[in-house]
């Protein structure tokens, strides 16, 4: 089970790299002047590749977490809270895909400031999950 746990942590860390960076690309996309087509296209290419790369990482992270659940059992309120936060992250990931599609069709209506705040959500959720996993407060 320690190998599964190690692989789970590896997938989570890798997935979070994407969750941290993709919204940063959105900040830059929201700041691109309308006449800068090449810059916009380059950022969209980067964002699309990153989203396609991080989606399998999310799936593997969840699958390995499910394997750990089967191996260790589902006990403690902390685990319920962690799973709720993982659901929030999966929703965030999905919403990033929707935002990317909006950028691709030129339909983004949000400012770079909105994306700067949006970018902070996975940071906060990660901190909460780490406290739950390490401290197991309930």
Per-residue pLDDT of the chain (138 residues; tens, 9 = 90+): 999 999 999 999 999 999 999 999 999 999 999 899 999 999 999 999 999 999 999 999 999 999 999 988 878 899 999 999 999 999 999 999 999 999 999 999 999 999 999 999 999 999 999 999 999 999
What is the DSSP secondary-structure string of 55-111? HHHHHHHHHHHHHHHHHH---SHHHHHHHHHHHHHHHHHHHHHHHHHHHHTT-----
Q: What is the pTM of this model?
A: 0.94
Structural domain boundaries in the chain? 2-135
């Amino acid at each position: 089970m320690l190998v599964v746990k190690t692989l789970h942590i590896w997938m989570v860390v890798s997935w979070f790299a994407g969750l941290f960076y993709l919204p940063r690309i959105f900040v830059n996309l929201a700041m691109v002047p309308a006449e800068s087509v090449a810059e916009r296209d380059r950022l969209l290419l980067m964002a699309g590749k990153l989203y396609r790369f991080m989606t399998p990482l999310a799936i593997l992270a969840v699958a390995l977490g499910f394997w750990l659940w089967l191996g260790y059992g589902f006990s403690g309120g902390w685990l319920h809270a962690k799973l709720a936060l993982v659901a929030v992250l999966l929703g965030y990931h999905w919403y990033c895909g929707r935002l990317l599609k909006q950028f691709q069709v030129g339909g983004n209506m949000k400012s770079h400031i909105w994306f700067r705040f949006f970018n902070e959500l996975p940071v906060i959720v990660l901190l909460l999950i780490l406290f739950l996993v390490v401290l197991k407060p309930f």
